[in-house]
Structure 1
């Protein structure tokens, strides 16, 4: 029981439309002994799930309530309008928000797009979810402006979508409790940022290893240096002694020779 409780694991929350498949695959390759569990959450509840520790980290749509949370923006999505296939807009490749002026543009409660001025005409009542709004579009009640990944997620044969050139983009971020930046969170940050295996972790251990090596190298370097200095000192002392003896020996030999000549 104890070993089972101590087994590390990682829970990753994600909102509709976000596909973490690639990052999960890399995680499984790099940390095969640490199971990663996916936790599907709605965009509205994502921040609360993270604050309540329902997941270690989450792929969320900005903006979110950042209270107590850290976040790293990852990418931005194209915004599209979802329309019936027989809608007049289906005849063009791209539109502007102004082209929706005569349409009822649905605004679900879980929408995360930040508009300064919402396009089109508002519906009498806001749909509770994007899923509900898609059903209303299929029924001919209005159109829906969403991130492209959500249009793909809710694909139907009777609907299509077109990019809206001047619409705000949906931004996807990695978020986690700011006081819980664990080693495993650092590992996942490295993965989503595209770091290699050797540079994927921001742990304190990473810089310690090079220092250890430098310290070892430095120690190895100091010994030869000290030896060289000692050898050089001995060499200077030895040559100095010999030079002194040689120099003093010359004159002494001369002095001894002179008395002999005199005698």
Structure 2
């Protein structure tokens, strides 16, 4: 692992549709002295942002170049078709790619689904961005197929969406350059994976004065069983394994040789 633990800040890139707020909140709770800076970038530019060192890690859309990047898949999004609220497709709870065959389907230049062959009828011109395509859908010119998070990001009151059962899906992953796996990157990996502050895989160490469960157990055993010396005597001077001397109570509660000894086998009370 490379890098320094004294890095003044941690820069996290993220693409449209991704919401890193939960992880940022946990970071601020655990590492209040290390500011986390969010860097929003277009999906197409995100890998270059990490390659150029403009961010330490990023929440990107798959696929990424695994020869250069390490990636931890986080989730896979549902794909939906965005349509006007009065569109015929809204009559169904879910549609298929075949249902879009006669629709004009926009395929923006920043598309993240990676279609081999986009469905439906092609538009006269490809919109520059997904946001531009949403505006065209609102104008009643066609429909748009996107990950659900982008449909929510560019939501309009006059539009709605339906899941597309057999469309390609977009996976999201925590990504960083493999050669730049710093301590702060490891810290963020732990947060994303749900590790606790005291996780054995984290960088935190037990505080001074803390003892492990095994250590506590050994201490109890030491109190329970006196240590013996080479001569077979305990720390109190009694020979280990020796019989009780006369006049002392035996293990069965009797007093061998003592006057007025109590009955053997009787009930005993702890003093």
TM-score of the superposition, structure 1-length normalised? 0.76
Residues 184-204 of structure 1: CA distance to partner in whole angstroms, max 9, x if unpaired? 11111111111111118544x
Q: Give the superposed CA RMSD.
A: 3.2
2:199 pairs with 1:199: yes
- Aligned position for 1:45: 45
Residue 214 of structure 1: how far off its partner (Å)? 10
Q: Per-residue CA shift, 1:152-210, capped at 9, x if unaligned? A: 0001122111111111221110001111111111111111111111118544x759x9x
Aligned residue number for residue 106 of structure 2: 106
Displacement of 1:125 after TM fit?
Answer: 2.5
Q: Deviations over 1:65-92 (max 9, x none)?
A: 3442111000111110001122111222
Q: 2-side partners of 1:104 and 1:139: how far apart?
A: 13
Unaligned ranges ≥5, structure 2: 1-5, 241-271
More divergent stretch after superposition (192-201 vs 57-66)? 192-201
TM-score (norm 2): 0.74
Instruction: State the partner residue of 2:144.
Output: 144
Give 5+ residue unaligned stretches, structure 1. 1-5, 237-263
Structure 2 CA distance for partners of 1:110 and 1:206, relative to 1, 3 Å: farther
Tell me the residue number matched to 1:181: 181
The match for 2:77 is 77
Closer, same or farther in 2 for the Cα pair 1:143/1:58, shift >3 Å?
Answer: same
Alpha-carbon offset, residue 39 of structure 1: 0.4
C-alpha deviation, 1:141, in angstroms:
2.2
Larger C-alpha radius of gyration, 1 or 2?
1
* TM-aligned CA distance change 1:200 to 1:96, over 3 Å: farther
Q: How does 1:1-263 map to 2 (within 5 A)?
A: 8-199=8-199, 201-203=201-203, 228=228, 230-232=230-232
Task: Give SS of 2:140's match.
Answer: coil
The structural deviation recorded for 1:215 is 11
More helix per residue: 1
